[in-house]
Structure 1
Amino acid sequence: MYSSSSLTIYFFSFLLLGYHGEARITLPPNATVPAVIAFGDSIVDQGANNNLNTLIKANFPPYGKDFVAGKPTGRFSNNKTPADMIVDELGLKEFLPAYLDPSLDDKEFLNGVSFASGGSGYDPQTPKLAAVLSFEDQLKQFKEYIEKLKSIVGEEKTQFILANALYLVVAGSDDLANTYFTIGIRRLQYDIPSYTDLMVSSASNFIQDIYKLGARRIGVFGAPPIGCLPSQRTLAGGGLRLCSEEYNQAAQLYNSKLQPQIEYLNSTLSQSRIVYIDIYNPLLAIIENPLQYDIEVVDRGCCGTGNIEVSILCNKLLPTCPDDSKYLFWDSYHPTNKGYSILVDQVIAKYINDFY
């Protein structure tokens, strides 16, 4: 008979079979991360939107310019997303695939997938406006994924994967920047305090839903300083394209409500490690002190003018900057590979031990 510890080591080795990357994250003793599972929006969308009838896509040039063979995959970046970087740092695989990727084989499922859909959000109106996958859709796919795992490795190993996987929940930016401010559909019904309450309530319900399905180590990302995104500078920053303080204050208010709710869930859901991940302050620090991070341009993206181009507006007909490593943003909404790398390194260093 195998002991429980030797069985865990054997199973973890089995999960990593086929990828020879080296883990660069130092986990606590006896800690194991067999998979990474992502939910949310375009920050961790690995190509879910490619076959949806939506304008929110990134499966065409110049997206993916610095990816393998310069291939656009549906990732809203010139190269990797934070989800890719995290699985690579863990030594699990080089890239995290989308659950809807038709080329996935059984082995790929074992190390995790992303259900995220660019343009989605906690507010049910947000994915409707963008014609993308809602959190309800992503939850439904997660249930399908669990059944697929059971058919591949059985009930016991499935529960092991679910309980020890690292979950990333990344959303909120599209709710605030698009649904509330830019399109304004919710401004007729809610003021900012009540709208952020709606967002936090929806986020809390989703976390509890995935907990009921077996998730235990859940990282929940706060909202970034959305008023400093290049597109939001253009839309709400005046003639000088300054950061919109109104937008940033809304993001801060949301974060100030989300964090204690996450702490409450972590204290009440048994055996859980639910971690609030601050992205607002690290991103703002780069924006305010770019040269410290070897960044030169923070107020516009690399694609086109950099002021408004995102998704289908960032396309092969437009020029891109000569050196995207000097830019914080790739398009007017999403960071470059360089920007993501800086942020992910900080997040991992600060939070990885909080999951154990």
Structure 2
Amino acid sequence: MHLPYMMQPLTFLLSLLLLADRGGARITIPENVTVPAVIAFGDSIVDQGANNNLKTLVKANFAPYGKDFIAGKPTGRFTNNKTPADLIVEELGIKEILPAYFDPSLNDKELLTGVSFASGGSGYDPQTPKIVSVLSFAEQLQQFEEYIVKLKSMVGEERTRYILANSLFLVVAGSDDLANTYFTVGIRRLQYDIPSYADLMVSSASNFIQDIYKLGARRIAVFGTPPIGCLPSQRTLGGGGLRVCAEEYNQASQIYNSKLQPQIEHLNGTLAQSRIVYVDIYNPLLAIIENPLQYGLEVVDRGCCGTGNIEVSILCNSLLPTCPDDSKYLFWDSYHPTDKGYNILINQVIGRYINDFF
């Protein structure tokens, strides 16, 4: 098993809706619009600590993860500070951070304003979470159903319907299906070529979106996959001696994205009263990687943790040094961005998508 591929990389652009200026929130939304909660599903980009109590190696609840988080505390977030999900709820003026559904300190108020069901290492392919013993999308959906029952017990059916219809849902996955299940472990490579495997992923993603729609979700951001071949670990394992971007992986990501986007547009056009939006993160991330100085970055081919070439999850730990200035790095470990990286990505995508949800 190759640990670096266990993590769900950069589908991260969860960064989606940020920026602008509006009192407690910097996101500008129409005057008559409310966003009562943010609810996230997916992988390590929006895993807020769900994996902490699972029997899996895919964890981040130890130093140096969380180095710049509140009180320097590692919480299971796969970065040095906040995740895109945290940034989104903060920018919307809802609350400071988005908790995991399994957070033991969760209270009723937190439930009403949103949670994350995401589990690092998960994916659309049912085989993907099994490989690393994390929560599947089917299990995340089951937890969402439990969550809805809790909401109804607190505020009643009508208010619950309102919360679900007006909240922002984030769906972030796909990178681990390609990087781990298809390329590294290879259990699907004998069965599918890349286009047909992408079809399997898109079908699963589409079914999941329809499932949460049936349960009341209406505003849904569905993130494509990034240029996974340019992640530091992929450069190390697939980029040769010079650690260039692994083009086969990038091409697979592009094929998947090219199939996902029209399917999302189809769902948006056929599911009544929905605002389902495909979010391109491939091109914004690649632009940063190709022109780092333009964004105030110096290092984009390795992470801040250890050598930065391979360390992720348990391989990135307190026994290793970290870079002296993570604000110069795009990546925190060999898979996930730094706080600086996430904020740059946020600025890249906000203007393009914010109005599509209202």
**TM-score strictly above 0.5:** yes
Which residue pairs with 1:347 in the alignment?
349
What is the CA–CA distance in structure 1 between the aligned matches of 2:158 and 2:94, rounded to whole Å? 20
What runs of 5+ residues in structure 2 fail to find an aligned partner? 1-22
Counterpart of 2:253, as a letter, is: A
What is the CA–CA distance in structure 2 between the aligned matches of 1:349 and 1:112, rounded to whole Å? 23
Which residue pairs with 2:312 in the alignment?
310
Which residue pairs with 1:170 in the alignment?
172
Q: Offset of 1:155 from its aligned partner?
A: 0.8
Structure 2 counterpart of 1:56, from 52, 55, 58: 58
Q: Offset of 1:29 from its aligned partner?
A: 2.9
Tell me if the contact between 1:86 and 1:344 (Cα under 8 Å) persists in the aligned partners.
no
| 3-state secondary structure, aligned to 2:221 | strand
1:202-257 CA distance string (max 9 Å, x none):
00000000000000000000000000000000010000000011000000000000
1:264 maps onto 2:258 in alignment: no
Counterpart of 2:290, as a letter, is: E
What is the CA–CA distance in structure 2 between the aligned matches of 1:355 and 1:63, rounded to whole Å? 32
What is the CA–CA distance in structure 2 between the aligned matches of 1:225 and 1:206, rounded to whole Å? 23
Structure showing greater Rg: 1
TM-score, structure 2 normalization: 0.93
| 3-state secondary structure, aligned to 1:169 | strand
What is the CA–CA distance in structure 2 between the aligned matches of 1:344 and 1:98, rounded to whole Å? 21
What is the CA–CA distance in structure 1 between the aligned matches of 2:109 and 2:33, rounded to whole Å? 21
Superposition pairs of residues 1-356 of structure 1, within 5 angstroms: 22-356=24-358
| 3-state secondary structure, aligned to 2:139 | helix
What is the CA–CA distance in structure 2 between the aligned matches of 1:29 and 1:103, rounded to whole Å? 33
| 3-state secondary structure, aligned to 2:33 | coil
What runs of 5+ residues in structure 1 fail to find an aligned partner? 1-20
1:67-107 CA distance string (max 9 Å, x none):
01110000000000000000000000010000010110100
Which residue pairs with 2:20 in the alignment?
none
Counterpart of 2:204, as a letter, is: S
1:91-146 CA distance string (max 9 Å, x none):
00010000010110100001100000000000000000010000000000000000
**Which moves more between the two structures, 255-264 or 337-346?**
337-346
Identity of aligned residues (%): 84
Tell me if the contact between 1:168 and 1:218 (Cα under 8 Å) persists in the aligned partners.
yes
| 3-state secondary structure, aligned to 2:45 | helix
What is the CA–CA distance in structure 2 between the aligned matches of 1:347 and 1:31, rounded to whole Å? 21
The RMSD of aligned alpha carbons is 0.7
Tell me if the contact between 1:44 and 1:83 (Cα under 8 Å) persists in the aligned partners.
yes
What is the CA–CA distance in structure 2 between the aligned matches of 1:122 and 1:83, rounded to whole Å? 19
What is the CA–CA distance in structure 1 between the aligned matches of 2:352 and 2:89, rounded to whole Å? 17
Moved over 4 A (4+): none
How many residue pairs align between the two structures? 336
Higher relative contact order (CA 8 A, sep 6+): 2
1:53-79 CA distance string (max 9 Å, x none):
000000000000000111000000000
Q: Offset of 1:31 from its aligned partner?
A: 1.1
TM-score, structure 1 normalization: 0.94
What is the CA–CA distance in structure 1 between the aligned matches of 2:87 and 2:78, rounded to whole Å? 14
| 3-state secondary structure, aligned to 2:251 | helix
Which residue pairs with 2:6 in the alignment?
none
Q: Offset of 1:183 from its aligned partner?
A: 1.4
Which residue pairs with 1:10 in the alignment?
none
What is the CA–CA distance in structure 2 between the aligned matches of 1:342 and 1:140, rounded to whole Å? 34
Tell me if the contact between 1:266 and 1:273 (Cα under 8 Å) persists in the aligned partners.
yes
Counterpart of 2:25, as a letter, is: A
